[in-house]
A and B are shown apart, each in its own frame.
Chain A
């Protein structure tokens, strides 16, 4: 009968194993998709030792608070908390078994009308508030340190990933150990007093019932955990976090540390030895600590992974769960009382247990001063953290500004390199073009000079013709005619060459003529020809010679052109043409 009642109570352990531990393990398992039986075994061992080694930790706090000296009552409280947890998780998902259990205990205390433990309730509320805050900061600090280590180590990303995977596995072991230690209170806390004086015999081996209870609690957690790996849940939790390996490590380690602080007897003793005595080990919420760690990481990384609705739901659930649990337990106890006539046999046991507790002095009365000290410490921590936040924000801004300046400098450097490259290319192209222009200009000048020469030749021809007229002898006349024949043959090419000259001028200065036509639409072909010759730097006399007109006509043409171009008197035509 005793075993059946205890097993009924231990169902809560199976639920914790199935849901809470598996949530932690999933974040590790995603590093290695195939199932590792060795990893499962290591975690199971860590849970077992966590429960057994720290069995006198937070479970004593629950036992002292509940003051239950009867296994049946313990089973009722435990099952009531289990029912509320199952119902609430189906409805809201993220709720804590610790919250439900403490709520059930409060319902029980109200039912029997025992002196209400305000100091303990206040203390546990403070711890429930403090544990997520601690997890938030510890997770973000661990991540900051990890990120700095990663950045400064310059270790290859693959190697670093492997190192952090191995560290995450170790953090998982720490988390499993601490989770086992802390949750032993949720599983065995309500059964602790009724069996405190008993012994059991297992395979001819006489052990205390308390040790047997905690071994059973550990086994229930392990069964739940193994079941979670064998039976796939449809939706175990929406808390399985998808971060980088170092972020996973930070969350798990912060979880392990926070749970270790509130569940490790050795740590409690160490603090007592250091002078900080009077703090009790209490059961805390896996989901709240884990969520706070994830939010801490998200804050550090600048993510916004939780919506506002979820962030409001979380504290609401913390408030609702103990209330609903307390009310449910109270109602269940009233129903049981009315069916089984409470005065017989449960009432006897209830009040017997009350008397027994009062008689034994195993309780540590928490002093109000402790609560006061805790509040002062919290305020102090909050002030330090506020200062740190302001400092880190300023640092972030400075780093951003520095990065911006660096970015601009890098861009400028890259642009400079490109400009140098372009300049080299442009210089090369420029030199080639200049050579081409020089060559063409030289050709044109040569051509122009040839034409001038030919004009001179024609003038000479005129003179020779005069000589022919004056010639008297036949021989003398033949000689002059021969000379004229040669001159005419040469000059026959003149018109052709002139056209060629003008076409060359047009080709070389194609862009110039396009601009000219665009700017002055009223120019005739002869005007354009005159402008081209002026642009070549030829004098009026040379132009006259080329165009086969008199220099005076050239001057007249220049005057008309000035008028067409609407030039002011002080601006020279050659300068204006050069500027087009």
Chain B
């Protein structure tokens, strides 16, 4: 009889909350990086505290969603893909937290002339995350303009790669004030920021597969 009287409202609310938490994590990451670049370490510390809380919350909600999906035997044919999607969304929160922690621990020395480049890279990376989260919501609500959002994620991700390439080139070819070890260190941070857009691209890939499966 469970089949006739089951309800999915709680699960839908949980999923919406989860996506919002991921959205917030990405925003806090962006703020954190900008605060670090602007040497506003007081705000940066607050960002780190906030992102730790958000990441914990995301983990809790993720576990609850996974258990509900199995318990209610929902979407058996795409459950694997949807769980993978939720995992990848959680990776955004994880990567955001990890990266801010690395900024805090390793304290990379970013020269003034590179500041704008790092801000541009962060903005572009966040742009792809900002586009993929509504796409995920649209997938669950079966909205029409899902494909356009996925396309945009791919374009943004490509652009992030271009910006990262230019940044690294500038770092190694044009910047004279840094030692080689410092350049390597900064390259490593560019990769970390780039990681968010890579996760967004992976999420877009999963969404594409899910769209095909649902067709």
Binding site for B on A (CB under 8 A): 30-33, 36, 38-39, 147, 150-151, 153-162, 165-166, 169, 242-245, 301-302, 403, 406-407, 410-411, 413-415, 418, 421, 425, 428-429
Binary interface profile of B, 149-163, with partner A (CB < 8 Å = 1, else 0)? 001100110010000
B1-23 interface bits toward A, Cβ cutoff 8 Å, 1 = contact, 0 = none: 11110111101100100000000
Which residues of chain A are near B42, meaning CB under 8 Å?
Answer: none
B142 touches A160 (CB 8 A): yes
Can you list 16 pairs linking A and B with CB atoms under 8 Å apart? Answer: A31-B73, A36-B2, A151-B142, A154-B143, A155-B141, A156-B142, A158-B74, A159-B8, A159-B9, A165-B3, A169-B3, A301-B215, A407-B148, A407-B151, A418-B156, A425-B120
CA distance A175 to B120 in the complex (A): 61
Contacting pair B155 A415 (CB below 8 A): yes
Do B3 and A406 have beta carbons less than 8 Å apart?
Answer: no
Query: Which of B4, B76, B213 contacts A31, CB < 8 Å?
Result: B76
Separation of A471 and B12 alpha carbons in the complex (Å): 107
Q: A150 and B11 in contact (CB under 8 A), knowing A165-B3, A243-B77, A414-B152?
A: no
Taking a contact as CB atoms under 8 Å apart, the answer to whether A421 and B123 are in contact is: yes
- A414 in complex: contacting residue of B7, B144, B151, B215, CB < 8 Å: B151
Residue-wise interface mask of B (103-136) relative to A, using a CB-CB cutoff of 8 A (1 in contact, 0 not)? 0000000000000100010011000000000000
Chain A residues contacting B215 (CB-CB under 8 Å) are: 147, 301-302
Beyond the given pairs A32-B73, A157-B140, A418-B124, 9 more chain A to chain B contacts, judged by CB atoms under 8 angstroms and listed by A's residue number, are: A32-B2, A157-B141, A157-B142, A158-B12, A244-B78, A245-B76, A410-B147, A414-B156, A421-B123
Q: Beyond A159-B12, A421-B123, is A30–B76 a contact (Cβ under 8 Å)?
A: yes
C-alpha gap A406/B151 in the complex (Å) = 10
Query: With a CB–CB cut-off of 8 A, which chain A residues contact B120?
Result: 421, 425
Min CB distance, B86 to chain A, in Å?
12
A166 contacts which chain B residues (CB < 8 A)?
3-4
Secondary structure type dominating chain A contacts: helix
| Min C-beta distance of B54 to chain A, whole Å | 24
| B209 interface hit (Cβ, 8 Å) | no
**Residue B179 lies at the interface, judged by CB distance under 8 Å to chain A:** no
Of B78, B142, B144, most buried by chain A (CB within 10 Å of CB) is B142
Give the 3 A-B CB pairs with smallest separation, nearest first: A414-B155, A410-B148, A158-B8
| A162 close to B74 (CB less than 8 A) | yes
B189 within 8 A of A: no
Q: Is the CB of A161 within 8 A of B124?
A: no
B148 and A156 contacting across the interface, CB-CB below 8 Å = no
Chain B nearest CB: distance from A179 CB in Å? 21
In whole Å, how far is B95's beta carbon from the nearest beta carbon of chain A? 22
Return A242 CB to nearest CB of chain B, in Å: 7
Most buried by B among A31, A155, A169: A31
Q: Which residue of A lies closest to B8 (CB)?
A: A158
Q: Which of A32, A151, A161, A418 contacts B75 (CB 8 A)?
A: A161
What is the distance, in angstroms, from B71's C-beta to the closest C-beta of chain A? 10
- Bound-state CA distance A403–B3 (Å) is 38
Whether A153 contacts B147 by the Cβ 8 Å rule is: no
**Cβ A39 vs Cβ B3 within 8 A:** yes
The chain B residue sitting closest to A244, CB to CB, is B77
A418 cross-chain contacts in B, Cβ below 8 A? 124, 155-156, 159
Q: B139: CB under 8 A from chain A?
A: yes
Shortest C-beta distance, B141 to chain A (Å), equals 6
CB-CB < 8 A to A30: which residues of B? Answer: 76
**Cα distance, A28 to B139, chains bound together (Å):** 25
CA distance A33 to B69 in the complex (A): 12
Closest to B65 in A: A158
Which residue of A39, A147, A161, A411 has the most chain B CB atoms within 10 A of its CB atom? A161
B214 in the interface (beta carbon within 8 A): yes
Instruction: Say yes or no: A153 contacts B142, CB within 8 Å.
Output: yes
Contact of B3 among A36, A242, A410, A414 (CB under 8 A): A36
Q: How far is the CB of B211 from chain A (nearest CB, A)?
A: 11
In the complex, are the beta carbons of A411 and B155 less than 8 A apart?
A: yes
Give, as a whole number of angstroms, the nearest-CB distance from A88 to chain B: 32
User: Which residues of the partner chain A approach B144 to less than 8 Å between Cβ atoms?
Assistant: 151
Q: Could you tell me if A157 and B139 are in contact, using CB atoms closer than 8 angstroms?
A: yes
**A403 close to B12 (CB less than 8 A):** no
CB-CB contacts of B63-99 with A at 8 A, as 1s and 0s?
Answer: 0000000001111111000000000000000000000
Q: Across the interface, do B142 and A150 meet the contact criterion of CB distance under 8 Å?
A: yes
Q: In the bound complex, do residue A156 and residue B8 qualify as a contact, i.e. CB atoms below 8 Å apart?
A: yes
In the complex the two chains form, what is the Cα distance from A541 to B15 in whole Å? 79
Cα-based distance from A155 to B139 in the complex (angstroms):
11
* Cβ–Cβ contact A403 & B151, under 8 A: no
Give bound CA distance, A425 to B139, whole Å: 34
Bound CA–CA A155/B9 (angstroms): 11
Task: List, in ascending order, chain B residues with CB within 8 A of A36's CB.
Answer: 2-3
Residues on A with beta carbons closer than 8 Å to the beta carbon of B12:
156, 158-159
A324 to B116, CA, bound (A): 82
Q: A36-B3, A39-B3, A166-B3 are in contact. Are A161 and B147 (CB under 8 A)?
A: no
Chain A residues within an 8 Å CB radius of B75: 157-158, 161, 245
Instruction: State A154–B144 Cα separation when bound (angstroms).
Output: 9
CB-CB under 8 A from B123, the residues of chain A are 421
Whole-angstrom CA separation of A522 from B144 in the bound complex: 67
Is the beta-carbon distance between A421 and B124 smaller than 8 angstroms? yes
Query: Are the C-beta atoms of B213 and A244 separated by less than 8 Å?
Result: yes
In angstroms, Cα B1 to Cα A39, docked, is 8
A242, B75: Cα distance in complex, Å: 12
CA distance A425 to B213 in the complex (A): 41
Nearest-CB distance from B152 to chain A (Å)?
4
Q: How far is the CB of A479 from chain B (nearest CB, A)?
A: 52
Q: Is the CB of A156 within 8 A of B214?
A: no
Judge whether A33 and B155 touch: CB under 8 Å.
no
Taking the closest CB of chain A, its distance from the CB of B169, in whole angstroms, is 14
Q: Which chain B residues (173-215) contact chain A, with CB distance < 8 Å? A: 213-215
- CB-based nearest B residue for A242: B77
Q: Which A residues touch B74, using CB under 8 A? A: 158, 161-162
User: Smallest CB–CB gap between A327 and chain B, Å?
Assistant: 43
Which residue of B2, B72, B73 has the most chain A CB atoms within 10 A of its CB atom? B73
